[in-house]
Amino acid sequence: MTSIAPLSAAEQLTIIPGPDPPLISRFERAGDSLHRILGSPENYARSEVQVPVSSEDALGDWWRAYFRGEIPRQAEQSNSAVRTVELFCGSGGLALGFGQAARELGMKTRARAAVDNDAEAVAAYMQNHSPEIASSESVSVLVDYRIKGSREKARFRYEPELLRDDWLPLIGGVDVLLAGPPCQGHSNLNNHSRRTDSRNDLYLTVPAMAIALEAPHVVIENVPAVVHDRTGVVASTTTLLRAAGYKVETGVLKADQMGWPQRRSRFFLVASKETSPIPLAEVQRALASEARSVMWAIGEFEHVAPDDHMLRQPELSEENQRRINWLFENDEHNLANSERPECHQEGTTYTSVYGRLWEDRPSPTITTGFLTPGRGRYVHPTQRRVLRPREAARIQGFPDTYKFVGKDGEIPSSAKLVKWIGDAVPMPLGYAAGLSVLVPELSFDS
């Protein structure tokens, strides 16, 4: 990491606006154990901004402030920045979570490059993270590499090399490589090419880029089913990184087990050269909290009028509106078989389709179908409509200040917007993975 001054535990205090008493968040470490302390100290003389503790749910208060754009920030930050490159960046959910982890540890972030073959998603990423280089090329044309063998026998035939001249100055100038390779080929929702999809091999571009960039840290996310890929991309990546001197940790992080109002799981591979990442299970344990309800996240938009952007409300077919009305008139959350399309009435494995969210439970996984009741359980808990983009974005962990707009600030189509939100890595998951690689960079006083 680039000359980041070590912080003592006392210096790792983060604070957000509001009246007395101050609420602080601190991470402490003993060996491989990570502890998060959230509370109101009697004496904290350096507090310049503070947060109200309005309920018994201090962590909930903390994240509510985050939602509203009062993003927790460090009282005294290092002047150095964690320099990132992100592959398959999408609209920036992974960068958002990683950046939040860095901020709470007193670090700034600096996006050096971002790439995704979805040019419009890259434009949204640029609006929020301002990378020095932004590319919509395929990651596979940016690096030259060849691999022989697979899994435990995987080896690079030669040292991977960058292919673009404008990327050459990044060599040795990147602290963390972030990546979210395409997951559709691994998803259990893909019944056609699951485990054998050619997109699965793009996972292997990540260790190649890490070595070519000389990046000391790597964070890769994907769906949990990636470990079942027929060619063993995770095992091969682990072998390649370890052969290059990285220490690797892998595991599944679950957003709801960290208190988030969404049942969403992602598989992470984190790797570091000079330090050892904190095991992901240990990070999740440190962040453990009872899952909050979907209304905790979106309740304040319950009666807000729609608009043409983040509160847009799709026009539903007469049949779909009738199905939604049936749920409310019968006080049900699952649509009766008789009310479903004829093709579903003989039985379906997707019972949540046309379903209504429970007011007091977390949301199921948010996907790109959240504006359509026939794509999942996306009917609002108390309103006869589906979720709106702002509500889905909150469930994904995006603050209200996040800019879901195009290159020149234009409002995107619904198709683009649901893709940017639904395909994103939920903020709390990137946040946890960021802690795994960043915390070992700090020194802790007992």
Q: Output the tens digit of pLDDT for each of the chain's 446 residues.
A: 543 333 333 333 333 333 333 455 667 776 667 777 665 533 322 323 333 445 577 778 778 878 888 755 444 456 679 999 999 999 999 999 999 988 888 788 999 999 999 999 999 999 999 999 999 999 999 999 999 999 999 999 999 999 999 999 999 999 999 999 996 554 444 444 444 445 568 999 999 999 999 999 999 999 999 999 999 999 999 999 999 999 999 999 999 999 999 999 999 999 999 999 999 999 998 888 999 999 999 999 999 999 999 999 999 999 999 999 999 999 999 999 889 988 776 666 677 899 999 999 999 999 999 999 999 999 999 999 999 999 999 999 999 999 999 988 999 999 999 999 999 999 999 999 999 999 888 754 43
pLDDT at 195: 43
Question: Is the CA virtual torsion 364, 369, 375, 380 positive or negative?
Answer: positive
Domains and CATH numbers, the chain: 9-67 (no CATH), 78-291+425-439 (3.40.50.150)
* Burial state string for 97-129 with b = 16 or more CB within 10 A and e = fewer than 16: bbbbbbbbbbbbbbbbbbbbbbebbbbbbbbbb
Q: By three-state DSSP, how is residue 174 classified? A: coil
Q: DSSP secondary structure string, 102-134?
A: HHHTT-EEEEEEEE-S-HHHHHHHHHHH--SEE
> What are 114-119's contacts with CB under 8 Å, separation 24+?
114/85, 114/86, 114/89, 115/86, 115/87, 115/88, 115/89, 115/139, 115/142, 116/87, 116/88, 116/89, 116/90, 118/90, 118/419
Residues acting as catalytic residues: 183
pLDDT at 160: 98
pLDDT at 7: 34
pLDDT at 199: 54
CA triple 197-199-205, angle to 5 deg: 140
pLDDT at 205: 97
CA triple 315-425-132, angle to 5 deg: 105
Which of 401, 376, 399, 398 lies closest to 387 in space, CA to CA?
376
Please answer whether residues 429 and 96 qualify as being in contact, where contact means their C-beta atoms are separated by less than 8 angstroms.
no
DSSP run (H or E) holding 85: strand 81-87
Q: Which amino acid is at 170?
A: L
Q: What is the pLDDT of residues 101-136, one digit of tens each?
A: 888 887 889 999 999 999 999 999 999 999 999 999
Please answer whether residues 82 and 102 qualify as being in contact, where contact means their C-beta atoms are separated by less than 8 angstroms.
yes
| Beta carbons within 10 angstroms of residue 76's beta carbon | 12
Q: What is the DSSP letter of 76?
A: S
Helices (runs of H) and strands (runs of E) counted in the chain: 11, 15
pLDDT at 336: 92
- Three-state secondary structure readout of 372-388: CHHHCCCECCCCCCECC
Cα(280)–Cα(285) distance, integer angstroms: 9
Q: What is the DSSP letter of 186?
A: T
**In the structure encoding, which two tokens stand for residue 390, read together?**
């702002």
Q: DSSP secondary structure string, 349-416?
A: S-TTTT-B--TTS-B----TTTT-GGGSS-B-SSSSSBPPHHHHHHHTT--TT-----TTSPPPPHHH
- Strand 133-135 with 265-272, pairing: unpaired
Cα(297)–Cα(425) distance, integer angstroms: 17
